[in-house]
Amino acid sequence: MPQRLKSRKNLLVLIGFILILALLAIRFIRKTPSNLSNSNKKESVAAATASVDLNREFHFPIEKVTRGEPRKISFVIEKAELRDEIVIKGQKANAVAGRTFLILQVKLRNELDRGLEINTKDYVRLAYKDADTEWFAADIHNDPVAVQAISTKSTRLGFPVDDDIRSFILQVGPINGSKDKIDVQF
């Protein structure tokens, strides 16, 4: 093969290789800024329309042991808030006309030497103060909530409620156990 033909073939291969690299680089540059901006974007929501500190702590049995006391988890309801906007799975959600969200800020403390998962919605029911024969379970939750060994985990529970009602009753306790009632007045 003559030298001239060989060098021309090498030149074409080199140009083709450079074009492929350039196209890949352009494609990468176009994707990277949009990916970064989407991953750093945080949803913001309006402040709570009303808030009340509850700071109530409960201890629920998690498992029975053969001797001694059952192992327990600490369930703390810190605060109740009324909100017209919340974030669910990274997306803003707005209450429909005539409704709002009652959000409970909850902390779970696990003092056990192993992690566990808790269905927080199983421990709280809500009723309107004037109609405490109907108990509602939380529709907004992160269940099951994983609480690592010897740690605290923050989470929330939410209930869609009528926006003209400001008096509620929380019933707190295990499904098959005794329950405490908390009056919540906004």
Residue type, 148: Q
Is the Cβ–Cβ distance between 81 and 54 less than 8 Å?
Answer: no
- Reference 87, options 49, 48, 45; nearest CA is 45
Dmax over CA atoms of the chain, in Å, equals 99
pLDDT in tens, 19-50: 888 888 887 777 655 555 555 566 678 899 99
pLDDT higher than 60, residue 180: yes
- 105 vs 161: CA distance, rounded Å: 16
pLDDT score recorded for residue 55: 96
35 with 63, same domain: the answer is no
- Residue 92's pLDDT is what? 87
Residues 98 and 139 both lie in one domain: yes
Nearest C-alpha neighbor of 50 from the set 99, 100, 12: 100
Q: Kindly state the percentage of the chain with pLDDT values over 70.
A: 85
Task: Tell me the whole-structure pTM to 2 decimals.
Answer: 0.73
CA geometry: angle 52, 58, 64, nearest 5 deg: 160
Condensed to tens digits (0 to 9), the pLDDT of residues 127-154 reads 998 877 899 999 999 889 999 999 999 9
The reply to whether 63 and 23 lie within a common domain is: no
Question: Which residue range forms the structural domain that includes residue 36?
Answer: 1-41
Q: What pLDDT score was predicted for residue 175? A: 87
Domain count, the chain: 2
